[in-house]
Each structure stands twice: as structure tokens, then as C-alpha cells.
Amino acid sequence: MREITFIEAVREAQAEALASDDRVFIMGQEIGSYGGVFRATQDFVRRFGGHRVRDMPIAEQSMLGAGVGAAVTGMRPIVEVMFMDFVACGMDAIVNHAAKMRYMSGDQLRAPMVIRTQGGSGTHHGSQHSQTLESWFLHVPGLAVAVPSTPQDVKGLFKTSVELEHPVLFVEHRALYRTTGPVPDPVAPIPLGQGVVRRRGEDVTVAAVGKSVHQALAAALEMEEEGVSVEVIDLRTLVPMDVEIVLESLSRTHRLVVAHEAVERGGWAGELVARVVAEGFDELDAPPLRAGSKATPIPFARELEAAMISDERLIARRIRESLDLAEYSE
């Protein structure tokens, strides 16, 4: 089985979508002859033509609005928002138009589109280019949210996303772009709402998505040296969210930590914890805990960024707190 990088998987997923369906085209900033700031569309203009790989101005609301219009008229646009922070500029098109189209038209109009974006810390881009904002969109009916953690999942989730009849927010953590993983050929589509156990364990369940999955696995290895067995679940999508896989794991471990890089306050971890408490309260031997980032804009300085961002150290600390290992929790 071949090994490819995360960004190669993104590139291949988009190229395969373009090759298999003439209705698919891509819009974004610097995605044409430049090939994208992270090379997600490298060489696409030569392969597919400028009419299917369209450079857009720095106007996210207009770009996303054009994507909604194209989707409603029968196309299947992929709209790349260069940094996730910039979705704030296009919220109206996503939230009030793309997500609501089927509902407001009695299913006569649909907006099948993929909104690709990336974000996250670790590359020191500062407060306006480093946020993880996927939690905003859990509150929006009609919009799916996918957050892959491996190259294989990029391709499998993207295959599903580009064929759906409703909009999908496809979120990538840029710190994963150079990571590698095995990818079969072909990659089977992965249904949205289907999580996966990345590591089996007996004492604590940790649920995460994206980069936080890798941090949870690192924390699990650290805890193994202390005699603690940690199960790591990769939810893969947040809407729909595979609560059942978490409840099944909880029936064996009876403790839960939910990890994400987003600010802990108001993050999607709170939604999962609420569902677990409501549906699996009797399985809990300890309060479910969250491992999220501090409520402050992300600093540019490396040391300050590291101090406020959730990472494997915080996840390990929450695991110890869940097990009441007070002597290890500081």
C-alpha cells in the first residue's frame, strides 16, 4: 500500500472529483496558475482548464455566494476558503443560503457544494490565521462538517462529501499537511457520521478529530508508561456526530475526555459531553472532561501560543484527572 502526504491526498481527492464529474469545478484565491498557497491545486489549470479552476478575488462572501448560485443551478462547486478564519467573511452565504436552501424551497432547490478550508495553530500565523472554528457550524441545520485526520480519511470523506445533495464544510488542519499515511487504491467512500477507534484501551476514552487525534494517541502512549490504558476515538465528522461509538467505548472504560484545539468555551466537546450525559449517564464513573484551548486570541509568539493551545500534555493531564490521579495532574 502506498504512502502519501495529507496534502497529496487533498490534491488527489479534488482531482478525482474533477475527472469523474463535469459538474465539479473549484473556486478560490490563488488556486489557478499559482496552485494554491498549500499546493492543493498544483497543476490543475493545465490538467482541467481555467474554466474549472477559477481564481477569485479577495471577497469570500461573493465567492461563496457564487458557489451557492452555481450549486442551485446544477453544478457541484468546491469552494476553497484559504484560511478558516476567513469563513467569518462569508457566513451569510454559508449559514443563511447554502444550509437553508432545501428547507426554504420545499426541497425544490439544493446547494450541493464542498467548502474546503484549513486552519489551526503550530505554524505561527497569529490571531487571524490560526483559528479552529468548526464548532460555529454545529449550530447550523443543513450543513455537514467533516474533519479528517489521515490521508485515507481525506480521500474517503471527500468522495462522500462531493456527491451529497447538501453543503459540507470540509476542515483540514494545516499542521497535518506534511504527515503521511497508507492509502489503498481505490479508496472507498467513508459515510459521514461514522467514527473509528484508532487505539483500543480499557481505562479512559478520548474522543477527538483532526490533529487532536494524533495528540490523543501521543498522550495514550505517555499514559501507557504509567499503567493507564487509553482508548482513542476519531469521530471524523462532527455533523453528523457518531455518539454511538463513544457510548459503546464508554460502556467499557466508564471515563471520557473530549479533546479539541478550539477554545474550550462553547466548543463542540460540550455538545458531545451533553449527549453522553443524557444517553449514557449510568456508564460514567467520573465526570466527563474537556481538553480545549484557553479563551484568548492566538498569540504569534511560539511560547505564548504553546501556553494557550490544547495539546497532548493537556490531554494527558485530563486523563489523570479523570482517573483521580491527583499526584500526576499538575
Span 63-97, pLDDT tens digits: 999 999 999 999 999 999 999 999 999 999 999 99
| Residue 129 designated active-site | yes
Mean pLDDT of the chain: 95
Whether residue 128 sits in one domain with residue 39: yes
Span 191-237, pLDDT tens digits: 999 999 999 999 999 999 999 999 999 999 999 999 999 999 999 99
Whether residue 232 sits in one domain with residue 162: no
How many domains is the chain built from? 2
Where is the domain boundary, 183, 207, 242? 183
Q: Domain for residue 151, yes or no?
A: yes
Per the structure, the complete domain to which residue 248 belongs is given by: 196-322
Span 121-147, pLDDT tens digits: 887 888 888 889 999 999 999 999 999
Region 271-291 average pLDDT: 97
Nearest in space to 146 (alpha carbons), one of 238, 208, 84: 238
Q: What does the alpha-carbon distance between residue 46 and residue 118 come to, in Å, rounded to a whole number?
A: 24
Paired with 232 in beta bridges are: 199, 206
Q: What does the alpha-carbon distance between residue 114 and residue 72 come to, in Å, rounded to a whole number?
A: 13
Where is the domain boundary, 183, 213, 248? 183
Active-site pick, 97, 125, 129, 214: 129
Nearest in space to 269 (alpha carbons), one of 314, 209, 311: 209
